[in-house]
Amino acid sequence: MAPKKPLCLPSLLLPILTLLLPQADTRSFVVDRDNGRFLLDGVPFRYVSGSLHYFRVPRVLWADRLFKMRMSGLNAVQFYVPWNYHEPEPGVYNFNGSRDLIAFLNEATIANLLVILRPGPYICAEWEMGGLPAWLLRKPTIHLRTSDPDFLAAVDSWFKVLLPKIYPWLYHNGGNIISIQVENEYGSYRACDFNYMRHLAGLFRALLGDKILLFTTDGPEGLRCGSLQGLFTTVDFGPADNMTRIFTLLRKYEPNGPLVNSEYYTGWLDYWGQNHSTRSIPTVTKGLENMLKLGASVNMYMFHGGTNFGYWNGADEKGRFIPITTSYDYDAPISEAGDPTPKLFALRNVISKAFPEPQVKNFAQGSPNRDYLYGFPMVPKRIWAQFQEIPLGPLPPPSPKMMLGPLTLHLDGDLLAFLDFLCPQGPIHSILPLTFEAVKQDHGFMLYRTYLTYTVSEPTQFWVPNNGVHDRAYVMVDGGLLEPPVLGQTILTHWLMFPLKVDKLVKWWFPFQLLKRSHPETPSGPAFYSATFPISGSGRDTFLFLPGWTKGQVWINGFNLGRYWTKRGPQHTLYLPRPLLFPSGALNRITLLELENVPPQPQVQFLDRPILNCTLRKTYIYSLSAGVQGTSELMQLSGH
């Protein structure tokens, strides 16, 4: 597609920008192909960057994490923008609170970090559906990440909202964004649709102008389909890969530009049911050292991993879906709780050696010119000279942690006891079960209910053909789905579907109080448990340990902390950041939705360190009792 006219800014914005940025015209970030390097304001430059995802860190902690990254010797931060985090419904946008991307850009500016932005539309990132909104699937024929007009129309309208927001933040416009990635590892996707990549490149140019550096990132095998003429090509690989071989391969696609590894893996992600991943410090530092010796620019993925709160953890498709844990610690240099690790200090040592001595300067003790910069939406030019320098200021020590408990939880009641509150609008009727997407439930839980009109007197197999459940379903007799479920040889029909507003109920927990039954007996099926607890002072970071619990979801003061799956591991504790807790004087509330079995002592504990590395190696078997007697109600609870 031919580039369109450059972007039109809202007319009010231009005079304001001019006012703040008298030197905007002298700012530039370009590729110097004659000398195989980048130039920042005309001066040779390379970046040592780290990945940090604002959507995996509570907003109040952004500044802390960014500041620690800067003090580790980094001069840039690289991050994705997950489309599904910002456009929950077609045409409905959310850039509030923890979704305030502009506030994050501002925090990066205050921390003196340049920005390498990766807006997708697909981001992967082990994030729910790779950042694509689930509502795209309401059109069952849609071809994601291709030039399918339905997909392109949705992408175009999203980028027409997103890209104008970031336009003022481009480096040459006075902001800190030096480059922007188009798509993400597109070469690893089977479609290999160059028209799609060309469309995206045209769209970015039309909305962002000609000056901004656009680039692609792929693993070595993906370079063929992922790179595109006109876009700067970068590669990604980890410490165990052969740097010489991969950079030689990159030269086929990017013969003269600076060498860039956009994702140098400092660690790795964890899957439920597999061993905790680690990468040793010597291999990670050695690889970085080799790349810096070559003069390459590097982004370390992740520098701080964070947490998959809520239902945002994704799943990898490897024949079947393999879900990623709630923790995204990643064995990264800054731990999930925001603490500097030995890996950080080892990497900082390598970085400081790679930059010439005279450039190494001490930063103001403790804070990076914060007073000076605070409140400025844009950074004055002379500050950027410091990107050539390594700040060797002190890093704060690990934040103090607290221990608490054990805390006994009480049964609030079965999930089904709250059905009227969880689904106040009543069920959706359909002959065959509908998918989550079809009933506009993007994640969380849905109850599928049908009544058996005949007697099943013998144990009979209940099944969903063709691997039709892509998420996870619990079957209850008497108290998702792509193929009709079958009982024996009969296709079950006439379903009632209850999309459940679980998070709303937990947040406004008063119905629990209103509904409190005489006294809870033993639960049948998924059930809510809760407790209240005070803390002393303003509290500290802590790690929630759920010994003996099986699988479910946990909330602190209505905030969805994420999934737990103690029975499977490797993650046994959930990171609980201090800002989620009410200080002394108020009670905190913990709520669990346990989907399976509760320990004899329904207790939880708060620990002062995480347990991320205990995997139950035995295959974990689910028992479903067969045998349906009489005319019965058959229900399925499905989680997404």
Q: What is the contact surface with ligand NAG in residues (CB under 6 A)?
A: 94, 96, 242, 244-245, 275, 613-614
Closer residue to ligand NAG (CB): 85 or 171: 85
CB of 235 to ligand NAG, least distance (A): 14
Tell me how crowded residue 4 is: count the other CB atoms within 10 A of its CB.
11
Closer residue to ligand NAG (CB): 268 or 582: 268
Identify whether the C-beta of residue 231 lies closer than 8 Å to the C-beta of residue 249. no
Q: What angle do CA 49, 160, 187 make, to 5 degrees?
A: 50
CB of 277 to ligand NAG, least distance (A): 9
Q: Which amino acid is at 374?
A: Y
CB of 609 to ligand NAG, least distance (A): 8
Closer residue to ligand NAG (CB): 248 or 524: 248
Identify whether the C-beta of residue 56 lies closer than 8 Å to the C-beta of residue 328. yes
Tokens of 56: 């995996």
CB of 201 to ligand NAG, least distance (A): 31
Identify whether the C-beta of residue 589 lies closer than 8 Å to the C-beta of residue 582. no
Identify whether the C-beta of residue 208 lies closer than 8 Å to the C-beta of residue 8. no
CB of 328 to ligand NAG, least distance (A): 17
Q: Which residue has the tokens 């509030």?
A: 96
Identify whether the C-beta of residue 6 lies closer than 8 Å to the C-beta of residue 164. no
Tell me how far apart the alpha carbons of residues 443 and 52 are, in angstroms, rounded to a whole number: 24
CB of 158 to ligand NAG, least distance (A): 15
> For 60, which DSSP code?
G
Tell me how far apart the alpha carbons of residues 472 and 495 are, in angstroms, rounded to a whole number: 18
Identify whether the C-beta of residue 6 lies closer than 8 Å to the C-beta of residue 210. yes
Nearest to 179 by CA among 98, 236, 260, 124: 260
Tallying the residues shown for the chain, one arrives at: 640
Closer residue to ligand NAG (CB): 126 or 331: 331
Tell me how far apart the alpha carbons of residues 71 and 362 are, in angstroms, rounded to a whole number: 10
CB of 381 to ligand NAG, least distance (A): 33
Edge-to-edge, what's the strand order for the sheet holding 29-32?
A: 29-32, 37-40, 43-45
Bridge-based pairing state of the strands 490-491 and 559-564: unpaired
Edge-to-edge, what's the strand order for the sheet holding 490-491?
A: 462-463, 486-487, 490-491
Tell me how far apart the alpha carbons of residues 478 and 471 are, in angstroms, rounded to a whole number: 23
CB of 518 to ligand NAG, least distance (A): 39
Burial of 46 (0-12, 13-18, 19+ CB in 10 A): buried
CB of 107 to ligand NAG, least distance (A): 19
Closer residue to ligand NAG (CB): 242 or 524: 242
Task: Pick the catalytic residue from 263, 336, 389, 594.
Answer: 263
Tell me how far apart the alpha carbons of residues 498 and 535 are, in angstroms, rounded to a whole number: 37
Q: Is 126 annotated as catalytic?
A: no
Closer residue to ligand NAG (CB): 220 or 257: 220
CB of 233 to ligand NAG, least distance (A): 19
Identify whether the C-beta of residue 301 lies closer than 8 Å to the C-beta of residue 265. yes
Task: Pick the catalytic residue from 126, 128, 183, 185.
Answer: 185
Tell me how far apart the alpha carbons of residues 112 and 116 are, in angstroms, rounded to a whole number: 13
* Cα radius of gyration (the chain): 26
* One-character DSSP codes across 130-176: GG--GGGGGSTT--TTS--HHHHHHHHHHHHHHHHHHGGGBGGGTSS
Tell me how far apart the alpha carbons of residues 524 and 475 are, in angstroms, rounded to a whole number: 12
Closer residue to ligand NAG (CB): 30 or 611: 611
Tell me how crowded residue 67 is: count the other CB atoms within 10 A of its CB.
23
Tell me how far apart the alpha carbons of residues 510 and 530 are, in angstroms, rounded to a whole number: 13
Which residue stretches of 355-411 are H helix? 370-373
Closer residue to ligand NAG (CB): 242 or 601: 242
Closer residue to ligand NAG (CB): 244 or 455: 244
Q: Is 185 annotated as catalytic?
A: yes
Closer residue to ligand NAG (CB): 239 or 526: 239
CB of 239 to ligand NAG, least distance (A): 13
Closer residue to ligand NAG (CB): 244 or 532: 244
Half-sphere exposure (Cβ direction) of 193: Cα atoms closer than 13 Å: 16
- Residues acting as catalytic residues: 185, 263
